[in-house]
Amino acid sequence: MEPKPHLAPYEKLAERLRRRIRAKSLEPGAWIGTEVRLAAENGLSRMTARRAVQLLVDEGLVERRAGRGVFVREKGAATRRIAFLAGNLLWAPAVRVAQAVQEAATARGVAVEVFDARGNLAAFLEMLASLPESCTAGAVVMSQHDAAFNRALVGLVASDFPFVVVDQTLSDLHGASVASDNRAGGRIAAKALLDAGHERIAFLGDLAADTTAARSQGVADACAAALVPPPAVFDIPGQRFDDWEPAIRTRIAELVGGESRPTGLVCSCDAVARIAMRALAAHGIAVPHDISLVGFDDDPIAEWTSPALTTVRQDFDDMGHRAFSALSSLLDGAAPRHESVPVALVIRDSLAAPKALARRTA
């Protein structure tokens, strides 16, 4: 019996497959085909076949297997399979987001395929472009803060492939994203320095990233509210996977060689702060005796620098859980949305009153 004529093409294909599965002509574990093959055999577009398969995935009747196609679901198998893409899993925050996504997915019976580009941007972009042809229903993607990365996202939108970007706000693109409240984080970092008595504050970071630009703006907000001079801003040029140490050392040399050297420095992330601390020491400038330092992230390294780093903590576990929830909503037909995650200040030994103030209060 043919499906009812009023059904949409993808619903008709889903109904034909559904009947075969329920009639046991397709046994559990049986290969149904790839979405490309289903489309060709039924005279449909790739996206129409994908929608039909997704209906059956949502009903728990079939599953996608990476590189192999669509199979009748066996008892206990995951009903959905999603991807997690990271630029480099040597970066601790990416690992924590990945673990949180996997934790949330496991609780919902969803399998997660993790792809690590290992610092190779070209490989990352290739993985991103291949997602619509993969057997995954959607993806959580760590942002690379790069123009080529943003162009690749446009391709995913055009392919109607569900995705959520972590660590970036997609304001000009119709896509879902999850990121910390970076502007608030910049304000918190600067206020900590201001409350300690600092009035000459600088910001150091890669301004090509929208997250870093927001943190810099938050520092400027706090300085304006306190009626102190705006922060001196030192940009770190280069690509996401470049070795930033030479550029950071150059910017630190500029910072310490200026006429009015800052007494407080906010760094865009803890990794930048760690290199900045070494570069300052090479100039004979001690933290926090000569300059106070505040990072961003609360990486594991923050506690083990010397001195221990005051930083703004990002809740990467919450970001991962929210990213999975946002992707689940997309797969259920919801519109893309942005999630903003709160941040918190963690005070350690790299923050102190400026030398002049310390002498006056001694």
Q: Where are the alpha helices (H) located in 206-244, listed in sequence order? A: 210-225
Q: Report the candidate in 191, 179, 90 with the shortest Cα–Cα distance to residue 143.
A: 179
Percentage of residues in the chain having pLDDT higher than 90: 69
Report the range out of 49-58, 255-264, 272-281 with the highest average pLDDT: 272-281
Q: Report the candidate in 126, 181, 137 with the shortest Cα–Cα distance to residue 162.
A: 137
Mean pLDDT of 261-274: 96
Instruction: Catalogue all structural domains in the chain, each as residue range(s) with its CATH number.
Output: 9-72 (1.10.10.10), 86-179 (3.40.50.2300), 182-315+345-361 (3.40.50.2300)
pLDDT in tens, 158-186: 999 999 999 999 877 888 999 999 999 99
Residue 231 clears pLDDT 90, i.e. is over it: yes
Helix, strand, coil fractions of the chain, as percent rounded to 5? 45, 20, 35
Residue 92 clears pLDDT 90, i.e. is over it: no
Q: What is the residue whose two structure tokens read 């150059």?
A: 250
pTM over 0.85: no
- What is the per-residue burial (b if ≥16 Cβ within 10 Å, else e) of 157-175? eeeebbbbbbbbbbeebeb
Residue 78 clears pLDDT 90, i.e. is over it: no
CA-to-CA separations, 99 to 15, 92, 199, 362, in angstroms, rounded: 36, 11, 40, 48
**Least confident piece of the model among 284-293, 324-333, 342-351:** 324-333
pLDDT at 61: 84
Mean pLDDT of 175-203: 97
CA-to-CA separations, 325 to 204, 303, 320, in angstroms, rounded: 33, 31, 9
Considering only residues 108 and 273, tell me which one the structure prediction assigns the higher pLDDT.
Answer: 273
Strands 62-65 and 69-72: antiparallel
Instruction: Residue 108: count other Cβ atoms within 10 Å of its Cβ.
Output: 12
Q: What is the residue whose two structure tokens read 């679901």?
A: 73
pLDDT at 239: 59
Kindly indicate the confidence band of residue 76, based on its pLDDT and cuts at 50, 70 and 90.
Answer: low
Kindly indicate the confidence band of residue 4, based on its pLDDT and cuts at 50, 70 and 90.
Answer: low
pLDDT at 146: 86
Mean pLDDT of 243-270: 92
pLDDT in tens, 14-53: 999 999 988 888 888 899 999 999 999 999 999 999 999 9
pLDDT at 240: 60
**CA–CA distance, 149 with 102 (Å, rounded to integer):** 24
pLDDT at 129: 94
The token pair at 287 is 């933290």
Where is 40: in which H helix or E strand?
helix 35-41
Residue 7 clears pLDDT 90, i.e. is over it: no
Q: Report the candidate in 339, 268, 315 with the shortest Cα–Cα distance to residue 97.
A: 315
Kindly indicate the confidence band of residue 103, based on its pLDDT and cuts at 50, 70 and 90.
Answer: very high
Residue 95 clears pLDDT 80, i.e. is over it: yes
- Angle at 190 (CA atoms; ends 203, 226), nearest 5 degrees: 115
pLDDT at 1: 47
Kindly indicate the confidence band of residue 79, based on its pLDDT and cuts at 50, 70 and 90.
Answer: low
Where is 310: in which H helix or E strand?
strand 310-314
CA-derived radius of gyration, the chain: 25
* Average pLDDT in the chain: 90
Residue 354 clears pLDDT 50, i.e. is over it: yes
Mean pLDDT of 141-154: 92
Query: Rounded to the nearest 5°, which phi and psi values hold at 166?
Result: -105, 135
